[in-house]
Amino acid sequence: RADRGPAAAGDKRVALLAAGRQVCSERGFHAPRSAIAKRAGVGQGVLYRHFSSRLAIAFAAFEANWAEFDALADDDDPRAFERLWRLLIDKTINERAFIEMVIDARRNLPDYDGERRLKQLLAKALKRAQRAGLVSSELRAGDVMAVQRLVMGLVLTSTDGAKLRRQVARALSVAGLLPAIT
């Protein structure tokens, strides 16, 4: 195969992002970056040229998650809150690397605004659901985030992935404040 030089940069970035999502999903957020480069079919130098840190590639690889959250928060349908809540829980359960990335960002980046951003998105969708009578008027976006953090704890401490979804469903049922997740 001929080397296309700078013309191939966009293709390499796309390959690195796909590989980043795959490797992190399989091996966790702290998977070696060399594994990402290898999966993408590029050298480590190319990886470092595009992404200077583990967080940089993770932010880029998981930006699609934020796009999905944004779209649901902007949806005028009052039931969008339930869909946003389900998506958030699904991402929490199925994309452990995304959760690990958020935790690392909170610890290592003083200006990280993911928590504030998520709270705003939840509040926007929650307000519409409350006006429609679909969710308790007592519920606040901070409450939703606290319950999501409980789910994060289950995910991060689970030793049996097969039972995890049932454990999360049970915990959410006990909490009783939010739409049920099945």
CA-CA-CA-CA torsion sign (147, 165, 105, 57): negative
Comparing 65 with 142, the larger pLDDT belongs to: 142
pLDDT band with cut points at 50, 70 and 90 for residue 93 = confident
Comparing 170 with 3, the larger pLDDT belongs to: 170
Name every residue whose Cβ is closer than 8 Å to that of residue 35 and which is 6 or more positions away in sequence: 23, 27
What average pLDDT score do residues 80-97 get? 89
Q: Could you tell me the two tokens for 55?
A: 């967080």
Name every residue whose Cβ is closer than 8 Å to that of residue 58 and which is 6 or more positions away in sequence: 20, 24, 29, 97, 98, 101, 104
Instruction: Say yes or no to pLDDT of 40 above 90.
Output: yes
